[in-house]
Amino acid sequence: MAPRYSFAYGSNTDAADWRAWCARTGHDPAAVRPIGTGILPDARLAFDFFGKGRGGGVLNFQPRLGGYVEGVVLEVSEAGWRALDQKEGVPHAYQRRQRHIILPDGQALEAIAYQVIPERQQDFVAPPPAYLNAVRQGFAAHGLHPRPLEAAALGAEGCHLLADVFVYGTLMQGGFWHGPAAQAGITSILPAQATGTLFDLGDYPALTLGAANQIRGEILTFQDIASALPILDEIEDVAPEGAKSGMYRRTIMTVMDNAGRRRRAWAYVMAPAKLADAPIITSGDWRAHHAQKSK
């Protein structure tokens, strides 16, 4: 079965650019349809490939632990995949990469993101104005923040860097795993709240998304998130690139700190299917719940 979704982070975010290319090549533009925005985690934008058809640098994504790239989720038909593969020059320029894309509610879906093949990647290649403006238009149309794009266009780091992690169990202050986490360099700890459902797994809790229950926890801010995440991912048994095989999945969710500010943070969540027999912590407060159990 062909994959259903693609993740666009460059010119394919711009409907006008896509329609113009389809008109030149005889493809049906309706074979690819934007359905919303998403986030490619642990990635950054880079202009590291010379696109002959554009006459200058075009976008690619590169690994960047703790960074993320915003883009557009496209629903793609079989005809749409043929068109996208041709536009991206598969397999000689770009290749298909299956990645887990984080949706605005923290859920994830599998999607194809096109990445330049390693042997064609270069150092910084300045983008031509027409290409850069097409991507700017696509970002603006979908409400994506332009800062990573503009940074990448100057050869700087093209991503949002997220140093905050929302924790709600044994990674909180006083918890069993807080000490190892602190060795990664925590610069601040703030009380915070999120929404979801909290489950009791005995010695630790698990959070699922989707419900409106209030979950009490903390925001840990790390000095170097790229050094901290491998430690936290190992503690939480997270599979690489968001794969479902891990015990938990690292996602990005919107939380509220103790000053009432809404902010994005990494968080470790579990699929509901893994929690069929686990009791719900109705208070949403692991610390209070665990203290009550220990009496």
Provide the 8-state DSSP code for 119.
G
pLDDT tens by residue, 158-170: 999 999 999 999 9
Give yes or no for a contact between 72 and 37, defined as CB atoms under 8 angstroms apart. yes
Our CA dihedral for 43, 227, 270, 114, rounded to 10 degrees, sits at: 10
Alpha helices by DSSP H, listed for the chain, are 15-25, 78-87, 129-141, 147-153, 178-182, 225-235, 286-294
User: Cα separation of 8 and 133, whole Å?
Assistant: 16
- Asked if pLDDT for residue 140 goes beyond 70, the answer is yes
What domains sit in the chain, N to C, each tagged with a CATH number? Answer: 5-161 (3.10.490.10), 164-294 (3.10.490.10)
Band the pLDDT of 1: cuts 50, 70, 90: low
Q: What is the mean pLDDT of residues 243-254?
A: 90
Q: What is the pTM of this model?
A: 0.94
Cβ burial of 252 (10 Å; 0-12, 13-18, 19+) is buried
**Facing residues of 111 across strands?**
99
The amino acid present at 126, given as its one-letter code, is: A
Q: How confident is the model at residue 65 (pLDDT cuts 50, 70, 90)?
A: very high
Best CA proximity match to 170, nearest among 263, 228, 236, 109: 236
97 is written with which tokens?
């990469």
pLDDT digits (tens, 9 = 90+) for 185-211: 999 999 999 999 999 999 999 999 988
Residue 242 has pLDDT above 70, yes or no: no
Q: What span, in angstroms and rounded, lies between the C-alpha atoms of 110 and 230? A: 22
Predicted pLDDT of residue 291: 87
Task: State the DSSP code for 12.
Answer: G
Distance separating alpha carbons of residues 254 and 245, to the nearest angstrom: 24
